[in-house]
Amino acid sequence: MSNSSTLVSANTLKLAIPVGVGIISLAYLSARVFGNRNIRTRYENEQTIPKVAIRKGDSTHDAEYHENQDEFLLKCEQTYGPVFELQILNQTLTIVSGGTLAREIHVNDHFSFRDSVEHMTGYRAFVYSLIKSYTEGENILHETMVHYTMIRDGISTKLSSFTPDIVKKMSFLLDAHIGPASSLENGKLVEWPLLALQQVVSGTMVEVFMGPEIANNTLVTDTFIACTTDFGLMLAQSNESRSTAKVLRIKAQHGVLNVMHKHLQVLVKAAEPVIEERHRQEQWAAENGVEYERPKDMMQMMLDRQEEFGLVDLEDICGHLILLVLSSMHTTLEAGMNVLFYLAAYPDTIEPIYEEIAEILGQQTQDRQEQRKSYRESLASGGAEFSFVNTDLDPTGDREITEHVIKKATKLDSFLKEMFRFRMERLSASHMAREDIMLSTGHVVRKGEKVLVNMRSVHQDEVHGDDLTEFRPWRFLGKNPGAAKASKDYMPFGIGKFTCPGRFLAVHDLKILAALLVTKYSDLVVEDKQRLPGMLSSPLNFGSLTGMYFTSRNKNDASSSTL
């Protein structure tokens, strides 16, 4: 298997995060050793944060943590309680355990996710250089909330309308970049499934963010991929203690030397003729008394609400699109790779999910047949004839994966929710204290210090049942809430007012991807099984990357979005 310039390491890609939101582990953003902790105000009833002893022969906790994250953190909890201090990831960190404390960190306005990210990456200079409607000195919280509104109104509330296009696009791209398997015993080997999935995710994202006219523009789809890669490489240079000189260099790289500027121009150039044609069609419709079918993509929503959002021009709109793409591309790609390799690692899950979808599609077909029959009968008395071709009841769509199928697939939802629970980075959700804060336990986190959440204690809470260190795909079958809903016992998307707004699109797309995979392929086998454990936790890590064999359900034909 050869290397590729479009692939980057897990730690690099994990830095390609959204502005203020996301499901990526933030432990990877930690890099600075904080100042003297001995000079501090003592609060009444303050509890001392216990320092975890470093194993003999080690200088930090890193080695012991990475040997077995669950075992190490459980030992810390049992020995030191729910709050403890680690020397890890090149700094002294306060770790909090349990859903109650985790929620406390997330909902307290004096703990800041954004400040933590800014301290390690200088990402605000990056934001300032990309969008004209934002100037340094404004409250970045405002810009974050604008993006929340854009995602909520432009995508989350319209997912059902996007579903047919996403299914069609994703199915086409899977066939194009993975293709039908051969009749060989081991199926077709795809050496770099990550590259194939990059194209699938990118093409789907362009469809949603910029519309179908641009979704077939390979320069744009490649730009979506390059944006995420370049952003990760740029931020990776910040992942260390920063001197004054380094801070200035980072500001220059994120500002006037920002590599995203060339990607921004690609999007502007692609969008200009499309927008011009849309305006022409809208004008023609108005002049001829015809209702104009307004495009539903994110770019169009930004154009329609340009004044409300304070967007300056098309270049500004494309700048905002890049910021949204950075989070969407990486998070969906990483989770999509997890879907591939969890299906391969637990092959007994493929048929149950396939059978569930087949059953739902069968019922969907029967319901649509009844609707057509009823409609024909209503027309029979008048002698009118009617064709369902190119209508909502077109028979060719009877067995297509629809929004109804996605919502009814409870085994698929349980599989994804358990995957998120099981794969979550154990130390994550970094927040920086903006002032001295006393936790409900009596422990005080000082201004400028960071807190990480011990996700082991959250996702292995007994509320989730037995065998908590095992992957059980049907653990959440028949249980609410679903995979996209956040709670104090389930936090892959955070919790509180800054819960990732893109989680509905991410889970929606992952369900479609998984549904298409199990309907197209009966077997997924990893080429190098020794690398499989790494793929279940860090699927974008070079050390874990491996090829995969895909065996088609119909070896004589390319699969499609139908059964």
Q: Which residues are annotated as a binding site for heme?
A: 500
Do 548 and 190 meet the contact criterion of CB atoms below 8 Å apart?
A: yes
CA 2 vs CA 15, 299, 542, 545, 546: distances in Å: 24, 37, 11, 11, 11
CA 287 vs CA 195, 290, 384: distances in Å: 47, 8, 33
Task: Identify the residue whose tokens are 């080997």.
Answer: 189
**Cis upstream peptide for 481 (omega within 30°):** yes
**Residue 527, helix vs strand vs coil:** coil
Question: What are the helix (H) ranges across 297-409?
Answer: 298-304, 306-309, 314-345, 350-380, 403-408
**Residue 456 amino acid letter:** R
Which residues on neighbouring strands pair with residue 190, listed in sequence order? 548
**Residue 496 amino acid letter:** G
Distance of CA 295 to the CA centre of its chain: 24
Residues 6+ apart with CB under 8 A from 491: 99, 102, 106, 424, 429, 453, 455, 458, 459
Task: Identify the residue whose tokens are 């944060």.
Answer: 49
Residues annotated in the binding site, as ranges? 500
Residues 6+ apart with CB under 8 A from 162: 155, 207, 208, 296
Distance CA(559)–CA(552), nearest Å, equals 7
Distance of CA 377 to the CA centre of its chain: 47
